């Protein structure tokens, strides 16, 4: 149960729809880079789970690549979603052909992955699937609302999503393999920038650097013990004959698995958090654990089966809730840290690296990272609403007082926000935007490697495109 921030379809589409004023060649190159990322995000057999009222024509195969096919619905669903997300009724004429070309390339990558026996670990797929299910449920606020809205049970959704996710992860693995040798030097970065026509240098909107110091309140011992005793009561009930899966469905706070009776499926080593895995692997098949504490809460685990390094388990998860005094203790601690920051006895970055519980940001000194660029500068449009509203009332260099807030999974936390820097709207320059230009140049190098791979691989695979799409000239280098 390692939860990671995932790239969103909306992010990729938004990138695509923001035109780069680099002149024809560079603009097209950027569109291809974004299209490629978009298709990897969607998966070539993507099915829309939201906004399903899109009219789709009668299906047929429009491309064959070895044992893989591209259906007309694959293309139309992707195009329909693009329109829906951007609230437009039409797309530029070149978009359908370019989308089809990328769908074909994805299938080529899958076919080549089979030939080269490149596989994704089943445990990694299961872990990713659980994260996706958790995210989906958060969007609907509850499991029941999600199932009612989509007209499918969580088990049915998992069954549909798993092969799509396996395909997507295979594509990502192939992409990493193909782009691993891409490198750019400072000289190449400078050349890339200098090749942009002077009247086409893009304008960058207002950007900020913002840090977050987050702390989870330490739950008092009495509450932790109460949760452990509750799980021990469930254990006794199971030993007395009650069904584990029924108790999990009623009481587990892991929404992703509760509807499946707590079943986590087959997992490989390293897929779940260490305390859970260590406890599960010590059990005999059918045996129940003692309460096991992890970063997600406290678990009652049952081992269902084991085969080599793979194991099948289920659990009941309960989360101890911090009391008001627990939260106030955390606020006082963070306030003392803030006083040291304000007095310049310690930097925000050092304080965060030492004390913050946000693993994603503490390694960056608490600074939020831009998902697309990888650096700490972010467009204000990409900030979380709460963060944006907060810094809108702050001066650069200020740190807020610690305040209580709720995480996406419902946990209570306390955080401080640091407004480090603000960069006004400006034209792209090497001095102010080196990291962004570096990323663009690196993407171009990866695209060149992909072009070489495409030219070589298209001769090794059986590829047949429906004559209806002859105008797209799919098999020409992209």
**378, 370 Cβ separation under 8 angstroms:** yes
* Mean pLDDT value across residues 345-353: 94
460 phi and psi, to 5 degrees? -100, -15
Q: Output the pLDDT for position 129.
A: 84
pLDDT in tens, 66-89: 999 999 999 999 899 888 877 888
* Mean pLDDT value across residues 18-34: 39
Q: Where residue 15 falls among pLDDT bands split at 50, 70, 90?
A: very low
For each of the domains in the chain, give its residue range(s) and CATH number, in order of start.
Answer: 9-195+431-472 (1.10.4030.10), 206-218+323-424 (3.10.50.40), 221-318 (3.10.50.40)
The yes-or-no verdict on residue 105 having pLDDT over 70 is: yes
Q: Output the pLDDT for position 130.
A: 76
The yes-or-no verdict on residue 239 having pLDDT over 50 is: yes
**302, 312 Cβ separation under 8 angstroms:** no
Query: pTM of the full predicted structure?
Result: 0.63
Q: Output the pLDDT for position 345.
A: 96
Residue 420 contacts by C-beta under 8 Å, 6 or more apart in sequence?
Answer: 208, 209, 210, 211, 348, 367, 376, 396, 397
d(CA 75, CA 100) in angstroms, rounded, equals 6
The yes-or-no verdict on residue 23 having pLDDT over 80 is: no
Residue 205 corresponds to which tokens in the numbers above? Answer: 């909107």
d(CA 398, CA 109) in angstroms, rounded, equals 49
Q: Where residue 120 falls among pLDDT bands split at 50, 70, 90?
A: confident
Q: Output the pLDDT for position 58.
A: 60
Neighbours of 422 (CB within 10 A): 16
pLDDT in tens, 410-437: 789 999 999 999 999 999 999 989 988 9
The yes-or-no verdict on residue 4 having pLDDT over 60 is: no
Residue 39 contacts by C-beta under 8 Å, 6 or more apart in sequence?
Answer: 78, 99, 102, 103, 105, 106, 171
Residue 266 contacts by C-beta under 8 Å, 6 or more apart in sequence?
Answer: 122, 123, 126, 310, 311, 312
Between 346 and 31, where is the model more confident? 346
Q: Output the pLDDT for position 31.
A: 43
Average pLDDT, the chain: 84
Q: Output the pLDDT for position 107.
A: 93
Print the SS3 string covering 241-302.
CCCHHHHHHHHCCCHHHHCCCCEEEEEECCCCCHHHHHHHHHCCCCCECCCEEECCEEEEEE
The yes-or-no verdict on residue 108 having pLDDT over 90 is: yes
The yes-or-no verdict on residue 33 having pLDDT over 70 is: no
* Mean pLDDT value across residues 348-354: 94
**Alpha-carbon distances, residue 52 vs 47, 56, 135, 324 (angstroms):** 9, 10, 18, 43
**Of 153-157, 360-364, 412-416, where does the model show the most confidence?**
412-416
- DSSP conformational letter for 400: P
Strand order in the sheet with 297-307: 263-268, 310-318, 297-307, 292-294
Helical (H) or strand (E) element with 449: helix 430-457
Alpha helix (H) ranges present in 322-397?
A: 324-342, 348-355, 359-362, 385-391
CA torsion sign for 281, 287, 289, 294 is positive
pLDDT in tens, 39-64: 444 444 434 333 334 444 568 999 99
Q: Where residue 139 falls among pLDDT bands split at 50, 70, 90?
A: confident
Q: Output the pLDDT for position 372.
A: 67
**361, 369 Cβ separation under 8 angstroms:** yes
Q: Where residue 221 falls among pLDDT bands split at 50, 70, 90?
A: very high
The yes-or-no verdict on residue 1 having pLDDT over 60 is: no
Neighbours of 246 (CB within 10 A): 13
**Of 19-23, 45-49, 152-156, 226-230, where does the model show the most confidence?**
226-230
Q: Output the pLDDT for position 43.
A: 44
Between 285 and 451, where is the model more confident? 285
pLDDT in tens, 90-100: 888 889 998 89
Between 477 and 148, where is the model more confident? 148
* DSSP string covering 169-224: HHHHHHHHHHHTT----HHHHHHHHHTS-GGGPPEE--EEEEEEEEEPPPPPHHHH
User: Quick one: what percent of the chain has pLDDT higher than 70?
Assistant: 86
The yes-or-no verdict on residue 301 having pLDDT over 80 is: yes
CA torsion sign for 335, 338, 342, 344 is positive
Which residue in the block uniquely carries the two structure tokens 């190159």?
A: 29
Between 355 and 268, where is the model more confident? 355
Distance between terminal CA atoms of the chain?
39
**475, 107 Cβ separation under 8 angstroms:** no
């Amino acid at each position: 149960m390692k939860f990671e921030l995932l790239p969103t379809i909306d992010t990729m589409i938004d990138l695509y729809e923001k035109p780069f004023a680099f002149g024809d060649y560079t603009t097209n190159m950027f569109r291809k880079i974004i299209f490629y990322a978009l298709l990897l995000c969607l998966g070539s057999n993507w099915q829309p789970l939201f906004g399903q009222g899109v009219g789709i024509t009668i299906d047929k195969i429009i491309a064959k690549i070895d044992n893989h096919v591209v259906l007309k619905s694959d293309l139309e669903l992707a195009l329909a979603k693009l329109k829906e997300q951007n609230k437009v009724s039409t797309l530029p004429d070149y978009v359908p052909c370019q989308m089809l070309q990328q769908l074909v390339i994805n299938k080529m990558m899958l076919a080549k992955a089979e030939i080269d026996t490149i596989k994704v670990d089943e445990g990694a797929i299961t872990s990713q699937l659980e994260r996706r299910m958790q995210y989906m449920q958060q969007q609907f606020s509850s499991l029941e609302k999600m199932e009612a809205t989509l007209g499918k049970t969580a088990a049915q959704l998992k069954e549909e999503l798993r092969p799509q996710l396996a395909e997507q992860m295979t594509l990502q693995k192939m992409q990493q393999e193909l782009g691993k040798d891409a490198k750019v030097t400072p000289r190449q970065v400078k050349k890339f920038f200098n090749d942009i026509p002077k009247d086409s240098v893009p304008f960058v909107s207002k950007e900020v650097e913002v840090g977050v110091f987050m702390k989870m309140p330490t739950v008092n011992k009495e509450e932790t013990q109460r949760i452990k005793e509750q799980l021990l009561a469930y254990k006794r009930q199971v030993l007395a004959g009650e069904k584990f899966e029924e108790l999990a469905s009623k009481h587990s706070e892991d929404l992703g698995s509760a509807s499946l009776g707590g079943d986590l499926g087959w997992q490989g080593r390293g897929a779940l958090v260490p305390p859970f895995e260590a406890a599960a692997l010590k059990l005999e098949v059918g045996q129940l654990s003692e309460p096991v504490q992890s970063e997600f809460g406290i678990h009652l685990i049952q081992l269902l089966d084991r085969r080599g390094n793979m194991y099948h388990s289920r659990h009941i998860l309960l989360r101890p809730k911090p009391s008001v005094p627990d939260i106030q203790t955390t606020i006082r601690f963070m306030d003392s840290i803030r006083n040291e920051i304000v007095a310049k006895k310690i930097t925000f970055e050092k304080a965060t690296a030492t004390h913050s519980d946000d693993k994603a940001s503490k390694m960056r000194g608490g600074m939020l990272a831009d998902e697309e660029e990888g650096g700490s500068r972010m467009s204000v449009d990409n900030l979380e609403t709460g963060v944006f509203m907060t810094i809108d009332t702050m001066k650069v260099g200020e740190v807020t007082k610690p305040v209580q807030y709720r995480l996406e999974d419902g946990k209570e936390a306390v955080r401080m926000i640091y407004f480090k820097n603000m960069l006004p709207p400006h034209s792209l320059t090497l001095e102010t935007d080196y990291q962004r230009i570096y990323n663009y140049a690196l993407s171009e190098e990866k695209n060149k490697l992909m072009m070489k791979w495409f030219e070589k691989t298209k001769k090794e695979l059986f590829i047949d495109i429906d004559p209806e799409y002859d105008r797209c000239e799919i098999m020409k280098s992209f």
